Structure 1
Amino acid sequence: MFTSRQISRRSFLLSSMSMTAALAGCQTTTTATAPAPVPQAAPARPVVAPEEAELQKRYGALEDGGHTIPAVPYQQIDPKFYRQRVPDPTGEAPGTVVVDTASRFLYVVEPGGTAMRYGVGIGRDGFAWQGEGIVHWRQPWPRWKVPDDMIKRQPHLARYSVENGGMEPGIKNPLGARALYIFQDGKDTLYRLHGSPEWQSIGKATSAGCVRLINQDVIDLYTRVPYHARIVVRQSALPEPAAV
């Protein structure tokens, strides 16, 4: 026989055990939710003006593809046309090539809000091209095959025609150390991004429609621009980033 005190104590213990079991049941049916991953922004690249030692290395003489490229007297070029990283003024997606013919700049847009900028020489008035296309073909040390319409204007170039196989690659070749060929809607625009031995033309409008770079710069450009990269050629000037 249990006394009333023993019965009360036994009821309390049974009640406590039931509550513990109920709480344990809730805990086993509750699953912790992992926090959603936070999107990581592209790392920002430093935007600094190249120093003298870097410029000497960047524009010094070099051997490439069996050819000796002479040093460029960069001191005689406006510093704004040196290859350098700048805040991106284009608003285009990373990987896009943008040619600002008015300002004589070429940009390769990078992740993180920056772009690699190059000084360029562009086509004379009447030979300039604008629009969008893709880099359909790339060639180190290309042959220069003069199109028929240029031969009509300059008949002495006929020996470098497509039929004659063009000009041999080399330092004197107008296409320089690299060429990137621009297509639009599946057709060759005859518009090129290419190197040039004529460093004096950078920042000027002297070529027949193409975009020319210092040979040392076009070699660097070639490593950054893959096949089928999108290219935008503008005639209106982009806002120039503030000097660093």
Structure 2
Amino acid sequence: MNDESKMSEQSSMTGHQEKLQIVGPKDKFPKVTLVEPTQSGYLFLALEVDHRPPVGFFVESQRKKTLIKNLKALARQLLDSNDVLEATVFKAMIVPPGRGALLKDRPEVNIARFDVTLLVEFTTPEAAQSFASSVQWQEALTSADKLASKSITVTASNARRIGPVDHSRDGVFLFNYFYADSLDLNLQVWNYTAGWFEDQTGLDNSTLLLPDPKPGISYTIINHCRWDRLRDILPALLFNRTFRSFVLANFQKNNTAAMPILYRLA
């Protein structure tokens, strides 16, 4: 399936493809290089435990340490299932620049401040949805919620993919929680700006998660990717002017806001 076919398929979810509004010269950066999305299903748990400033996550409470220990034990158990391909626990490193200005006009949207996450990849979306309804998962959620002030759980499929995200070794992992007034435009503007990250940061992987509709979940897509080191990504977000004039400006023009958080393996 080519990129246009994928876009058409995703647009059918919203009825029709809306017109992307472009800020600045069109195609200023190379188009994103996409590969076929996976057929996997995903179960994603994100929890807010410690309230810290953007660079203060190196200080961890005992509650957070206990939660991470419990989630890592659960991840090991899940890997014994034939339906589970990967189960990985992450903890926040830093909240980088990039939060969308649109959120000031959308006070109903919950700002993502999740400092612990668990991502489970299943063989199929149906397997992820089935496990999300299981007694084992509900018991795990009850236990986790006792240690967190806020949590979300989503099942999801893979809407776009630059390449597989390597969880076998540590690095800098992004979960970018998007809110958009239009899912269709969110997908289009992600597609249009993702080439900037390839060109300016050397990004060669990304799994874009498309959450299944669920009451109380305001995130339209969640992007997940990896770099080797903070210096591969952070300077570009801090000092590269085109991050704001191209990436963030096109998000804003299309009523889309990002809430990025950088993580490491727990």
TM (norm. structure 1) is: 0.26
Instruction: Work out which structure has the larger RCO, using CA pairs closer than 8 Å and 6 or more positions apart in sequence.
Output: 2
TM (norm. structure 2) is: 0.24
